Amino acid sequence: MQEYPSLVWHLKNTQLFEDLSEEDLSRLAEITPYRSYAAGDVIYRMEDPADALYFVREGMVKVSVYFPNGKEMILGVLGQYDVFGELLLLPSERRPNQAEALRDTRLIVMPESDFQTLLREQPDIALKFIQVMSTRLWQAQQWQAEVGAFEAPQRLANLLARLAHEFGVEVERGVEIDLGLTQQDLAKMIGATRETVSHGLTRLLEVGAVRRRRTPIVVDREALAAYLAAGDD
C-alpha cells in the first residue's frame, strides 16, 4: 500500500476534522488506530455492534444491505477520505448495513465512546457530522427518486456518470472506472438484473457513452450526459 506522510495529515484531509488545530489532531491520532483489510474482507456485518466510526485512508469499501431472501442491495462505494459507519449513533446500537473491502484497504478506526466524547468537546465537529449525515440522507432520497423516475438503462447511465465523477481517471479513450465492480455488482446498485446491465452496457456502447464495457469500464462523460438528457432507452 502507498504510504502517506502521517495520520495527522490524513485526518486533516477529512471533512470532519479539517478545521482542527495540529495539537488537537495529534491528540486525536492517539486514539484512532489503523486496521488493514484484504479485498473481500468483511469490515462489519448487519446487526454487529455499532462500536466505531471508520475513515478510509487507502482502498475502497462497499456498503450493502442484505434482505431476508438473500438478495444484496449495494448502497454505495467509498474511497479515500470518506467516512462510514456514521449510523453508530442510532438508538438500536446495531449496524443496519454491511461494509466490505473491495480491494486491499487501510482504515482509521475511532471507537464509539471516543467519538461521543469528541462531539461533546468539539461542537464544530458535531455540526460537520450532521452535514455528513444530511448528505447521506440526501443521496438516499436522490436514489429513491431515480428508481421511481427512470428505467434501468437510465439508472445505469446515471450510476456510471456518478462513479466516473467520484472515482474516474482520465485515459486516452475517456474516463476509466477501475473499481473491480462486476456486472452483477452494478445490477445490485441499480436494482436490476445482471442481464439488464449487460444489455444496458451494450446500448451505451452503441451510442458512444461507454468505450469499454468490461472492467475497468471506460466511459465518455459528455456522451453519458447526452444520453440521459435525451431520455433514450
Check if the beta carbon of residue 132 is closer than 8 Å to that of residue 15: yes
What pLDDT is stored for residue 1 in this prediction?
47
Q: Tell me the residue type at 182.
A: T
4 — phi, psi (to 5°)?
A: -115, 165
C-alpha cell of residue 3: 504510504
Give ranges for CATH 1.10.10.10 in the chain.
150-230
Give ranges for CATH 2.60.120.10 in the chain.
7-147
The span from the CA of 25 to the CA of 103, in Å, is 28
The span from the CA of 7 to the CA of 181, in Å, is 29
Domain at 7-147, CATH class = mainly beta
pLDDT tens digit at each of 233 positions of the chain: 445 457 777 787 787 788 778 888 888 887 788 899 999 999 999 999 988 999 998 999 999 999 999 899 998 899 988 889 887 776 667 898 999 999 999 999 988 888 888 888 888 888 888 887 787 777 777 766 766 677 888 999 999 999 999 899 999 999 999 998 899 999 999 889 999 999 999 999 999 999 999 889 999 999 999 998 887 65
The secondary element (H helix, E strand) that includes residue 179 is: none
Q: Please give the model's pTM, rounded to 2 decimal places.
A: 0.81
- Domain 150-230 architecture: Orthogonal Bundle (1.10)
The secondary element (H helix, E strand) that includes residue 2 is: none
- Partnered with residue 44 across adjacent β-strands are 99
Check if the beta carbon of residue 122 is closer than 8 Å to that of residue 19: no
Compute how many other C-beta atoms are within 10 angstroms of the C-beta atom of residue 138.
10
What pLDDT is stored for residue 5 in this prediction?
52
